[in-house]
Structure 1
Amino acid sequence: MKIKNILKGAVFGVFAVSGAAHAADVTLNALFMAQAAYSEDDIRNMTADFKAANPGVDVNVELVPYEALHDKIVLSQSANGYDVVLYDVIWPAEFAQYKLLDDVTDRIDDKTRKAVLSGAWTTVEYDGKYYGMPWIADTKFLFYNKDMLKKAGFDHPPATWEELETQAKAIKDKGIVDYPLVWSWSQSEAAICDYTTILSGMGGQFLDADGKPAFNTGGGLKALQYMVGTINDGVTNPNSREYAEEDVRRVFSSGQAAFALNWGYMYNLANDPAESQVAGNVGIVPAPGEAGVSKASAVNGSMGLGIPTKSTHKEEAWKYIQFLTSQKVQNKYAKLSLPVWEASYSNPDVIKGQEPFVNAAKTSFAVMAPRPTMASYQEASAVLQEALQNAMLGTATPTDALNNAAKTIADLQ
């Protein structure tokens, strides 16, 4: 939904901060996502540590589903609602255009710039300026059930998309599991992330050199044809068309799939006996590549923390962001989301017990493909989501679905 349309219907007012804090104290209102990456317990524990170290600052933590995050940030601008917000890598262009986040370029020193993974900065950067600090470095990985692969006669996970479907067919033919593949292909941004992952590995691009839609040709078309093909071949769980990431984790963790594409947070949860029936039997590798084109596929699914322009506690907000994104804190909570700091990847405390996850990340983080950087991304994404869904439901061919989407998106630009 476009920002100007959201703001048009917003109710203007002053955000009331509850509580009987002393007048000299500051209360920050912080907005986070209640799915994937850091858990709610992680965020609340980090915040408790921050409050203990900063006794004059209180923090109200609000967590919402990813799908509500964008509009919550936009609507809050009418009511001075938040001091710190978590935002997706796809939103800086839009937020910069409407001046929703503070430009914090001058707050970030050279030492920090050099110490953070270079790719992580793309999460918060637009037009040469930084609108926050990278906090979640993430992409989609391929998870696999080791026992199912072994039963099917495979001694290694697939390295290409073609090999993935070949192994999935063999697993299905042997009756090991009904639907070897599970994905988050609901009509949402989750499907765009899976599509981008496959598109990137198949050499596709969203926009051409002139900024015009190009996803309806080459690797972009091949990616959707591949997705539809796995459904038609009976190796993809058809309910994937309704699934989000947590559905994928549930299905895979209950032993109902041999392969799953999901964010990194799933690795330790799927290997946790309290959370999973296949704990200890879960492997992780970079998403496959394409023979002669790529060795791995990845989408930039990273997120950053920023300060809304209407915050009245910007110094305290920046202190909170610095704390949450610090190497020390990220290293401590590195089980569901890996740090954005380069040195962390040689830290034994971070690596121990999750070596496969870290090794996969080293490869995947280096090849993360962006989704389009455009102020009208939300509208463009909605158009493409519908096109993917139409093709997967069989109401349009992949070619027709993407051609129609490309035309509509070109008109938005």
Structure 2
Amino acid sequence: MVRTVAVITSIGVAASLAGCSATESNENEITFFANNTQDSYQKLIDGFEAANPGITIKFSTTNGAQAGYQQTLQTRISGGQLTDVFVAPPEQLNDLVKNNTVKDLTDEPFMADLNDTNKEQSSVDSKIYSMSVTSWTNAFAYNKDLLAKAGYDSIPETWDEFIEMLKALKDAGVEKPYLEPKAGLGAMVESWIGFDSSEASKSIDQQITDGDTTFKDTYGEYYAEWAKLFDTGVMGSEVTGLGDDQVRTEFAAGRLAVMPSGYWDVNTFNDAGLNYAFGRLPMLHKEDTPYAPGAADSGYAINSKISGKKLENAEKFLAYIASEEGLKNVQDGLGLIPATKNYTPEIDEHFSEPYELYLSTGNLYLNTLGWPTSGRSTLRAETFAQLQQVALGSETPDQAASNLDAKIKTLS
């Protein structure tokens, strides 16, 4: 999945304006800004309004849903247009707390059933500022009919075996064995780093941040493994121009054999009538414990500047989201997987393998969580930019990793 990020540069400039005009309207209207479409949130909105007669939700999002959400959130804060409730990306949480933009939710009753992992990701200095109720993991979506053309019925366990499968698919006449979107290049790299980090006293990315090692000395070898996709000709440089939707469309149309995806695509692929499943992300060695890119999802935050009836209604909304009914609506509408103590989600059978491998075990890894808090968005975007250069053949994997070392120095 592509989690588009944008650098936050000026939240502090006008954070004091965050509670102004947008939040001083009808006290029984909750303004809500989120990083997905209104259609995705409609079940949640309808359910809340039915359970709370007289209270309405005024929803807004960015054009293109997740694309540009963080930048738009920053702009709204700077312009005094922050909503009562909003989705708070973990990359921005430190800045939001520093500038007194989000309410402390630590002791709120609706936080009681959250998982510890979700609480930890939503915390700053041991206080919790957003309510994260779902978790995500990447996986490979694969077309069973196309894999069968090369004699395969699932994703192989190791990376070299996966490359061999893609070559076999191409030889069998599958024009598009595998594609990644331009803002999601290197889909497996975090899996490999996740396992290797689990064998160390602290994560590889934290070691980089602490100056114990470098991107060149760690990421360089992972990037070289990933570059085998181009060395063997099973994926071409055209991926540098492909967006999320374009790759998803190719898969849904039955033309693409394998793509990085996640539970959020289940409804789309089911509607397309595909014979498909989600499978593992191949590890470098057969004995490696399976890991996948993933983490707790962004949480729901309350504007710290609202008070009175506005605040009371905002808290009611978060309490509803955390209820069993609310969590079911979140799963059904947004395709996200609830990760709380009070709700056991029903998982679509297509996603059973990655759910058991990653979400049920907690074998998830997100590199940004080990990076400097003030530069996570910038560095994340830089990884994709560097891998685009590798895909185009203008940089070697080692050069791309070295350029990340140069970038992180500018963030300290």
Q: TM-score, normalising length from structure 2?
A: 0.83
Provide the rounded CA distance (Å) in 1 between the counterparts of 2:220 and 2:205. Answer: 11
Q: SS state of the match for residue 212, structure 1? A: coil
Q: SS state of the match for residue 73, structure 1? A: helix
Q: Where does structure 1 differ by over 6 angstroms across 4 or more consecutive aligned residues?
A: 9-13
1:69 aligns with 2:69: yes
Alignment of 1:105-184 (within 5 A): 105-108=106-109, 112-113=111-112, 115-175=113-173, 177-184=174-181
Indicate conservation of the 8 Å contact 2:118/2:296, yes or no: no
Q: Deviations over 1:76-127 (max 9, x none)?
A: 2231421111133333233333333222112146xx54x4333333442233
Alignment of 1:282-301 (within 5 A): 282-291=276-285, 292-300=287-295
TM-superposed deviation, 1:12: 6.3
Provide the rounded CA distance (Å) in 1 between the counterparts of 2:209 and 2:237. Answer: 37
Indicate conservation of the 8 Å contact 1:387/1:401, yes or no: yes
Provide the rounded CA distance (Å) in 1 between the counterparts of 2:179 and 2:69. Answer: 25
Q: SS state of the match for residue 206, structure 1? A: helix
TM-superposed deviation, 1:405: 1.4
TM-superposed deviation, 1:59: 1.2
Q: SS state of the match for residue 265, structure 1? A: helix
Q: SS state of the match for residue 90, structure 1? A: helix
Cα distance 1:154–1:231, how it changes in 2: closer, same or farther (>3 A)? Answer: same
Alignment of 1:322-337 (within 5 A): 322-335=319-332, 336-337=335-336
Q: Deviations over 1:124-179 (max 9, x none)?
A: 2233221111133112111111112222112332222222211111101111x122
What residue ranges of structure 1 are gaps of 5+ in the alignment? none
TM-superposed deviation, 1:403: 0.9
Question: Residue in 2 aligned with 1:268?
Answer: 267
Indicate conservation of the 8 Å contact 2:180/2:260, yes or no: yes
TM-superposed deviation, 1:252: 0.9
Indicate conservation of the 8 Å contact 1:248/1:262, yes or no: no
Provide the rounded CA distance (Å) in 2 between the counterparts of 1:398 and 1:209. Answer: 17
TM-superposed deviation, 1:305: 0.8
Q: What's the C-alpha RMSD, in Å, of the aligned pairs?
A: 3.0
Aligned match for 2:364, one of 359, 363, 368: 368
TM-superposed deviation, 1:410: 2.6
Alignment of 1:157-236 (within 5 A): 157-175=155-173, 177-186=174-183, 190-191=184-185, 195-201=189-195, 205-208=204-207, 211-212=210-211, 214=213, 216-217=215-216, 220-236=219-235
TM-superposed deviation, 1:184: 2.0
Indicate conservation of the 8 Å contact 2:368/2:380, yes or no: no
One-letter code aligned to 1:27? E
Question: Residue in 2 aligned with 1:95?
Answer: 96
TM-superposed deviation, 1:259: 0.8
Cα distance 1:232–1:8, how it changes in 2: closer, same or farther (>3 A)? Answer: farther
One-letter code aligned to 2:280? P
Question: Residue in 1 aligned with 2:255?
Answer: 256
Q: SS state of the match for residue 77, structure 1? A: helix
Provide the rounded CA distance (Å) in 2 between the counterparts of 1:260 and 1:385. Answer: 17
Cα distance 1:216–1:200, how it changes in 2: closer, same or farther (>3 A)? Answer: same
Cα distance 1:210–1:194, how it changes in 2: closer, same or farther (>3 A)? Answer: closer
Question: Residue in 1 aligned with 2:312?
Answer: 315
What residue ranges of structure 2 are gaps of 5+ in the alignment? 1-5, 198-202
Q: TM-score, normalising length from structure 1?
A: 0.83
Cα distance 1:102–1:46, how it changes in 2: closer, same or farther (>3 A)? Answer: same
Indicate conservation of the 8 Å contact 1:7/1:74, yes or no: no
Q: Deviations over 1:13-56 (max 9, x none)?
A: 9435798x5xxx4222111113xxxx632412211221222223
Provide the rounded CA distance (Å) in 2 between the counterparts of 1:215 and 1:240. Answer: 27
Provide the rounded CA distance (Å) in 2 between the counterparts of 1:329 and 1:215. Answer: 44
Cα distance 1:210–1:332, how it changes in 2: closer, same or farther (>3 A)? Answer: closer
Question: Residue in 1 aligned with 2:45?
Answer: 47
Which range moved further: 162-171 or 334-343?
334-343
Question: Residue in 2 aligned with 1:393?
Answer: 392
Tell me the number of residue pairs that the alignment of Structure 1 and Structure 2 aligns. Answer: 388
Indicate conservation of the 8 Å contact 1:6/1:71, yes or no: no
One-letter code aligned to 2:318? I
Cα distance 1:283–1:201, how it changes in 2: closer, same or farther (>3 A)? Answer: farther
TM-superposed deviation, 1:198: 4.9
Question: Residue in 1 aligned with 2:401?
Answer: 402
